[in-house]
Amino acid sequence: MRALIDTMQGVDAGHLLHGQQISVDRVRMRYATGTTALEDVTLSVARGEFVAIVGPSGCGKSTLLRLAAGLERPTAGSVALGTSSAAFIFQDPTLLPWRSVRKNVALLTQLAKLPKDERERRVDAAVEAVGLTAFAKQLPRALSGGMRMRVSLARALALEPEVMLLDEPFGALDELTRDEMQSQLLELHRRAEFTAMLVTHSVSEAVYLADRVVVMSARPGRISGVVEVGLPRDRDAAIRFDPRFVARVSEVSALLHGRG
């Protein structure tokens, strides 16, 4: 469980330029099976920035995220993080079924051995931030898919991370719940001002959430283009009908299909 959200031990922090929080420099990732997942990938993420990564299945999006988290090491090149405080959130909320919402949120603060008073403060704040105070004593089986994902987000927030790495956290949700969770994540980002890197298959989700969308090619994954979203940070669901939003979605889609 601790591997889900942890300090990024073993990740180089010595090659960051001023203002950068994540730096990926000329990274190549080749697995022992002979598969090359990534080739010559260079990307930097500024402090407080929200970057989304899209690309075809198998292009190395999740590999890139795992490298940023320090869960894997590149075959060549370097990865650097400007913090020792980062959270990794998977598509599956991975809640312990015998622990209540509050106790699931508290789990990693306990593993981090935070003082009890500090744990209580952080857990209460995190549960409230995702709107689950009224459900704090419920077990996961009583929650909807969206509510379980909110617990996963709260568990990460309780560690007060400077970086959030999100691997398709809303991929298994229905469309309405997914839209609600996207808005929830935007609000959490606005409040906490963490740096975020999100992997998603949804172009509209990427444009809705991010400051920049990184488009990757088919395997071996390379960055084929970067789209600056250029929309106000205080966006809401109505912005999906804004011509600027539609234009950015079209631009990302064109790059994704090799028409950029």
The range of the structural domain enclosing residue 207 comes to 20-87+166-256
Residue 73's pLDDT is what? Answer: 92
pLDDT tens track for 168-199:
999 888 898 899 999 999 999 999 999 999 99
Report pLDDT for 43. 95
What number is the average pLDDT over the span 41-66?
Answer: 94
Once rounded to an integer, what is the mean pLDDT over residues 47-76?
A: 94
Based on the structure, what is the number of domains in the chain? 1
In a domain, 4, yes or no: no
Q: Which residues pair with 12 in a beta bridge?
A: 80
- 231 vs 70, 133, 243, 244, CA distance in Å? 31, 32, 11, 8
Distance CA 248, CA 148 (A): 31
CB 230: neighbour CB atoms within 10 A? 11
User: Chain-wide mean pLDDT for the chain?
Assistant: 90
Task: Categorize the per-residue pLDDT at 2 as very low, low, confident or very high, splitting at 50, 70 and 90.
Answer: very low
Q: pLDDT tens for residues 201-213?
A: 999 999 999 999 9
Tens of pLDDT, residue by residue over 79-124, are 998 877 899 998 889 999 999 999 999 999 998 899 999 999 999 9
Q: What is the CATH number of the domain that holds 175?
A: 3.40.50.300
57 within domain boundaries = yes
Three-state secondary structure of 84-139: CCEEEECCCCCCCCCCCHHHHHHHHHHHCCCCHHHHHHHHHHHHHHCCCHHHCCCC
pLDDT-based confidence at residue 18 (cuts at 50, 70, 90)? low
| pTM, rounded to two decimals | 0.90
Q: Give the residue, 105 or 15, on which the prediction is more confident.
A: 105
pLDDT at 97: 96
> pLDDT tens-digit profile of 119-142?
999 999 999 999 999 999 999 999
- The confidence score (pLDDT) of residue 138 equals 96
Give me the mean pLDDT over the 232-242 stretch: 91
* Residue 206 counted as domain residue: yes
- For residue 154, is it within any domain? no
| Percent of residues, the chain, with pLDDT higher than 90 | 76
Q: Are 140 and 148 in contact (CB under 8 A)?
A: yes
**Would 126 be classed as within a structural domain?**
no
The pLDDT score that the predictor gives to residue 5 is 41
Examine residue 114 and state whether it is found in any structural domain, yes or no: no
Tokens standing for residue 205: 């989700």
Residue at 157: amino acid letter: L
Mean pLDDT to the nearest integer, 213-225: 95
In-domain check, residue 222: yes
Is 46 a domain residue?
Answer: yes
